[in-house]
Amino acid sequence: MVIYKTNEEIELIRKSCLLVCETLAHVGSMIKPGSTGKSLDKAAEEFIRSNDALPGFKGYRNFPATLCFSVNEVVVHGIPGDKELNDGDIVSVDCGVFMNGFFGDAAYTFLVGEVDPEVVDLCVATKTSLYLGIEAAVAGNRIGDIGAAIQDFTEKTHHYTVVKDLVGHGVGRNLHESPEVPNFGKKGKGLLMKEGLVIAIEPMINLGVRNVYQSKDGWTIFTRDRKPSAHYEHTIAVKKAQADILSDHTIIEDAIKKNPNLTDISEKR
């Protein structure tokens, strides 16, 4: 069942999403070669709790951490550990919070040090595809219009591949609500979107094949060919003329600009 949100509820979701982005910015300010997922995860949890909120992921279906920390060939759902980041790595950091009765959800892929230009291009294209998907998320369009915009740009224009095993989702009083929001599809197909629909759009795009597999830990998703994957996510509210983006990547990108250990792609399209 799709649950449409009131304007008041949307504003509460926005507050949760902004705290997610502030948390990701806090994490981004500390990322450098030698950083570990576990240390950054601890900092994220402390930051969220210090803002009178709860980590949205920790304990969700027994997930053990505050962040999903997914490096290079890990698509999503990586568990933060003791392995150190290296120069040239990319890491998708996905975060959720629960505050005032509502969840917020967003993700950003950080580029550590000097990253292979081929992988930089993948990240830029994935991030651009997110905004193309958002442009399609307006009342009167259908869910398939979002996926078609993402898929056409990443596969037809850039010849990357879209992960089809994982999708975006509704957001509200629950972290994952209906509807599912695939990053592939056909225009004019799927649920008719109406004002008040709040969804997380999160393209997961691979440099190589689209096939993935799950680790024995029950969470970590790897690309089948072990080539890099990029992931960016916004939570948005569907409106008549233009989607309302409830999360804010510029908070994260401001932190990246101040961190000499990260590559800034915010101006690249």
pLDDT for res 268: 84
81: amino acid identity, one letter: G
Give every CB contact of residue 211 below 8 A, 6+ residues apart in sequence: 223, 224, 225
Percent of the chain with pLDDT over 70: 100
| Average pLDDT of the segment spanning 42-70 | 98
Read off the pLDDT of residues 181-198 as tens digits, 9 standing for 90 and up. 999 999 999 999 999 999
pLDDT for res 196: 98
* Per-residue tokens: 235: 């939570």
Give how far Cα 60 sits from Cα of 68, 77, 99, Å: 12, 12, 15
pLDDT at 269 over 80: no
Whole-number Å distance between alpha carbons of 132 and 183: 11
- Could you give all domains of the chain from N- to C-terminal order, each with its CATH number? 7-263 (3.90.230.10)
For residue 158, name the pLDDT band (cuts at 50, 70, 90): very high
pLDDT for res 259: 98
Read off the pLDDT of residues 115-131 as tens digits, 9 standing for 90 and up. 999 999 999 999 999 99
| Average pLDDT of the segment spanning 45-63 | 98
Q: What is the mean pLDDT of the chain?
A: 98
pLDDT for res 218: 96
pLDDT for res 112: 98
Whole-number Å distance between alpha carbons of 125 and 256: 18
Overall pTM surpassing 0.75 (yes/no): yes
